[in-house]
A = this chain, B = another copy of it.
Amino acid sequence: MKQIEVKKDILAAHDMIAQENRAFFRERDIFVLNLMSSPGAGKTTLLERTLELLKGTMSLGVIEGDIATTYDAERISKHGVPVVQINTGGACHLDGNMIRRALDEFNLEKLDALIIENVGNLVCPAEFNLGEDMKAMLLSVTEGEDKPLKYPLMFRLARALVINKVDLLPYVQCRIENIVRDARSLNPDLEIFELSCTRMTGLAAWTEWLAAAIRNKRRKTIST
């Protein structure tokens, strides 16, 4: 099975670059979040709400990953936060090399945290470490309750799951308790947040948790 060998080699090479990125971020005391989901689950909107709630309390930067267009970076830049758009030109995920090249565009001395919005894809982004401190993922209730077991890798690797668009629950067949049950069967320690970015419900719990994770890393880094 030659193809699989090639893939393994590529993944190993990518992991080395991810380790270099991780050391780079540690030296500069920057917390890095890798945010992943299917297309249209609401990553950019969640990011906009999160920036509005956190940007007064800490210095944040954003990397937007998309196959094409700069739509998402334009949305983020309206919030007064430094943002770099990576266009993968067809690639279905971000990788550590792309992140490394994007870092030159930031004033890193000033940054407390960097949030990376990955390409919309519930599969491939989970396979590529970027050097992040934490992976988080979104699932929209419109995608259906069967998704954790059908797409298990991302649910296994994520530290947090944001169940988004709960305002649409009355109109779709989706039981959140089944998402929670199946996601926890794959990942018992998963933090789970239920929210609606359009109705602005549930956002405080998510942003407070994220802010605590950012501050926690910075305190650890200072104390060592």
A129 within 8 A of B: no
Assembly stoichiometry (copies): 2
Contacts of A120 in B (CB 8 A): 38, 122, 150-151
DSSP majority for the A interface?
A: loop
In this complex, how many residues of chain A approach chain B with their Cβ under 8 Å: the count is 37
Chain A: residues with CB nearer than 8 A to chain B?
A: 3, 6, 10, 38-40, 66-69, 71, 90, 92, 119-124, 140, 142-144, 146-147, 149-153, 165, 167-168, 171-173, 198
Q: Name the one of B6, B66, B123 contacting A10, with C-beta atoms under 8 angstroms.
A: B6
- Distance between Cα atoms of A108 and B142 in the complex (Å): 36
Closest to A41 in B: B143
Closest to A146 in B: B71
- Distance between Cα atoms of A152 and B89 in the complex (Å): 10
Cβ–Cβ contact B90 & A151, under 8 A = no
A44 to chain B, nearest CB (A): 9
